[in-house]
């Protein structure tokens, strides 16, 4: 298939710019994999779509306030977006400036913090924070939540909590696993009370998730790499549910990619590493049976992924239905459940 096969026209007013007041207030579009038909529901109906013998797999990554602003020593404005933290004092980052800084250049950040450019890493920059404070501590003081590029407003204090899942645990993502944003603690507790198993994996979402596919032939696309981890406990829990006939339901495409990356041997195994798994129609899923997800950008790798799970034509039909019925799109938008 070609990139252009996954294009669709989205009216700009359907791009959600802010979250709803309550996490569980979103709408939920249900797409039945086998039949291909759709149903309009509310997100609170999700608990009725899962069974006690299912396992829900959440991504417990935590979004860091990865965007910083500063100036070059020569006075030019600089915007930094941390892509990956290497250790307490160094990171790989995107740097936007009128002229790219060279190795050795000093960047003066807010509140007197400083970092130095160590060099380039492909299109990114290797940065080192000066002083004794760790990068995460500095980001907590001067960093901004890195809202996606299609959210046109500046971040505000509400994004510190709402662009974060209630179960976020391990800092490292620069974009939220947005399907998880719909869950509040009351719903998590209600799922537990129903007997639905919960498991947690980690995939630190990178800014590459927003990068467009630049080639028409999908075979030529180079997927960005993201760190993932599947613990022994999670692998055992999920494999036990599968052995008993329950469904593995990924909460978000990031949880799905972590699971499938750890299943390339044919069965889910514990492990950590970087994944550049690119899932397109024709892919054979090894672990995941169903998916809860948000709506994705036209011609994006994530739209290709869900088309692999549910079928190209049913997905494109469902998206047109969502547009026709004024669903809210993207990170702060409504949700979609793909299952039976």
* pLDDT tens for each residue of 26-77: 999 999 987 889 999 999 999 999 999 999 999 999 999 999 999 998 899 9
pLDDT above 70 coverage of the chain, percent = 100
Alpha carbon 158 to its chain centroid, in Å, reads 19
Domains identified in the chain, total number: 2
Final residue of a domain: which of 87, 110, 142?
A: 142
Average pLDDT over residues 208-213: 84
Average pLDDT over residues 254-281: 97
Q: Are residues 173 and 300 in the same domain?
A: yes
Q: Are residues 228 and 264 in the same domain?
A: yes
* Residue 176 belongs to domain spanning: 3-63+160-339
Asked if the model's pLDDT at residue 224 lies above 90, the reply is no
Backbone angles phi, psi at 116, to 5 degrees: -120, 140
- Read off the tokens for 333: 């938008």
Within 8 A by CB and 6+ apart from 193, the residues are none
Q: Are residues 237 and 111 in the same domain?
A: no
pLDDT recorded at residue 207: 84
Average pLDDT over residues 313-324: 98
Task: Compute CA distances 71 → 83, 103, 130, 155, 174, whole Å.
Answer: 19, 15, 15, 20, 22
| Residue 176 belongs to some domain of the structure | yes
Average pLDDT over residues 299-319: 97
Element (H, E) at 338: strand 335-339
What CATH number is attached to the domain comprising 56? 3.40.1780.10
Q: Are residues 321 and 236 in the same domain?
A: yes
* Measured distance CA(291)–CA(143) in Å, rounded: 32
* 3 state SS of 119: strand
Q: What is the pLDDT of residues 161-206, one digit of tens each?
A: 999 999 999 999 999 999 999 999 999 999 999 999 999 999 999 9
Asked if the model's pLDDT at residue 138 lies above 90, the reply is yes
- Confirm if 100 and 71 have CB atoms less than 8 A apart: no
Average pLDDT over residues 257-277: 97
pTM here is 0.95
């Amino acid at each position: 298939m070609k990139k252009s096969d996954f294009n669709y026209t989205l009216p700009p007013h359907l791009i959600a710019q802010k979250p709803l007041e309550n996490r569980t207030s979103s709408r939920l579009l249900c797409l039945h994999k086998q039949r291909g038909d759709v149903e309009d529901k509310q997100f609170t109906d999700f608990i009725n779509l899962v069974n006690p013998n299912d396992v829900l797999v959440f991504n417990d990554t935590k979004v860091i306030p990865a965007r910083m602003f500063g100036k070059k020593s020569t006075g030019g404005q600089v915007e930094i977006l941390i892509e990956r933290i290497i250790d307490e004092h160094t990171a790989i980052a995107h740097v936007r400036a009128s002229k790219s800084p060279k190795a050795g250049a000093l960047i003066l950040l807010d509140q007197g913090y400083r970092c130095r450019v160590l060099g380039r890493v492909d299109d990114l920059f290797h940065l080192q924070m000066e002083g004794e404070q760790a990068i995460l501590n500095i980001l907590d003081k001067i960093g901004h939540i890195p809202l996606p590029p299609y959210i046109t407003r500046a971040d505000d204090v509400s994004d510190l909590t709402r662009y974060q899942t209630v179960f976020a645990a391990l800092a490292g993502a620069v974009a939220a696993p947005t399907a998880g944003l719909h869950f509040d603690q009351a719903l998590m507790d209600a799922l537990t009370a129903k007997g639905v198993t919960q498991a947690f994996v980690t995939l630190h979402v990178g800014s590459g998730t927003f990068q467009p596919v630049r080639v028409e032939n999908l075979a030529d696309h180079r997927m960005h790499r993201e760190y993932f981890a599947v613990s022994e406990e999670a692998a055992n829990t999920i494999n036990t549910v599968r052995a008993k006939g329950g469904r593995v339901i990924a909460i978000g495409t990031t949880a799905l990619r972590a699971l499938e990356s750890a299943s390339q041997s044919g069965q889910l195994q514990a492990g950590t590493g970087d994944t550049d798994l690119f899932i397109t129609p024709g892919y054979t899923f090894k672990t995941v049976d169903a998916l809860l997800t948000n709506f994705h950008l036209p011609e994006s790798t994530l739209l290709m992924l869900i088309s692999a799970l549910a079928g190209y034509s049913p997905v494109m039909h469902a998206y047109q239905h969502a547009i026709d019925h004024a669903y809210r799109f993207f990170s702060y938008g409504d949700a979609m459940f793909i299952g039976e």
